[in-house]
With several copies, the nearest count.
Chain A
Amino acid sequence: MDTGTPGVKNSVHMEFPSLPENVGFARASVAFFASQLDFTLDELDEIKVAVSEAVSNAVVHGYPQGPGPVVVDVSATEAGELVVQVADRGTGIEDVEQACQTSFTTRPGERLGLGLTFIKEYADRLEVTSRPGEGTVVTFRKRPQPAAVSQG
């Protein structure tokens, strides 16, 4: 809870078991929270995709053996930026740089290896920290884009 952190205007902390149905919960809840900033519908969709991918990874890769705790922290900074952090205490990642490469997956045939690539694409900044056996923390930031003049 970030009531008093300097630079943070509002924040929500969430915890839930890594059940597939909670991917949708996290996606929607972060979108509800994000709607207090000036995001367009398309930007909100990008945020939803990024959250889905990060939480799906915790479900599928973080806890392959069964449900474990997923923690999502979302905040809105005074500067109008959305910060989303998805953390698990699961398997962790051996080589983070490799994991972030497009099409890299430890489950070839079954998955496409595009999740982290999409997050990187849709967020302004992505940070992944992980230790094998200890878990993974994915943090991404996104600001509403200054309104572009729409092509009629």
Chain B
Amino acid sequence: IGEIRRYLRDNNPIRVSRSLRDVAYKALQVRDALVHRYAREPSVRQIADELNLPREDVVFALDAIQEPISLFEPIYH
């Protein structure tokens, strides 16, 4: 799954607006900070709380920087 994350991060052909990218970037930063602080993987809910954003906005932004419909079996080529 770490590989999936990397794949998703490296394969991002679609244009994603600056501010969505910012939210996603901050979410990943906060995640790292929380991992550091508590020595375990935080939940999305904790990340959103820390950022003071609705959970869905964090999920939305992270989804926007990913995109492929299906990692393994794209419908479109």
Residues in chain A within 8 A of chain B (CB atoms): 20, 23-25, 27-28, 31-32, 35-42, 44-46, 48-49, 52-53, 56, 59-60, 111-112, 114-115, 118, 144, 147-150, 152
Asked whether, in the complex, the Cβ of B73 is within 8 Å of the Cβ of A53, the reply is: yes
Provide the main secondary structure of the chain A interface: helix
Asked whether, in the complex, the Cβ of B75 is within 8 Å of the Cβ of A23, the reply is: yes
Known A-B contacts A35-B45, A48-B63; A27 and B73 likewise in contact (beta carbons under 8 Å): no
Known A-B contacts A42-B1, A152-B39; A35 and B73 likewise in contact (beta carbons under 8 Å): no
Residues in chain B within 8 A of chain A (CB atoms): 1-2, 4-5, 8, 17, 19-20, 27, 31, 35, 39-45, 47-48, 54-60, 62-63, 66-67, 69-73, 75-76
B5 to chain A, nearest CB (A): 7
CB-CB under 8 A from B56, the residues of chain A are 24-25, 27-28, 32, 35
Asked whether, in the complex, the Cβ of B5 is within 8 Å of the Cβ of A150, the reply is: no
Which residue of B40, B70, B73 has the most chain A CB atoms within 10 A of its CB atom? B70
B46 to chain A, nearest CB (A): 8
Cα distance, A27 to B75, chains bound together (Å): 14
A118 to chain B, nearest CB (A): 7
Asked whether, in the complex, the Cβ of A41 is within 8 Å of the Cβ of B40, the reply is: no
A-B residue pairs, 10 tightest by C-beta? A28-B56, A147-B40, A38-B43, A35-B55, A40-B41, A32-B56, A20-B75, A52-B70, A35-B44, A42-B1
Cα distance, A82 to B43, chains bound together (Å): 14
Cα distance, A30 to B6, chains bound together (Å): 22
Cα distance, A148 to B71, chains bound together (Å): 26
Which residue of A27, A40, A150 has the most chain B CB atoms within 10 A of its CB atom? A40
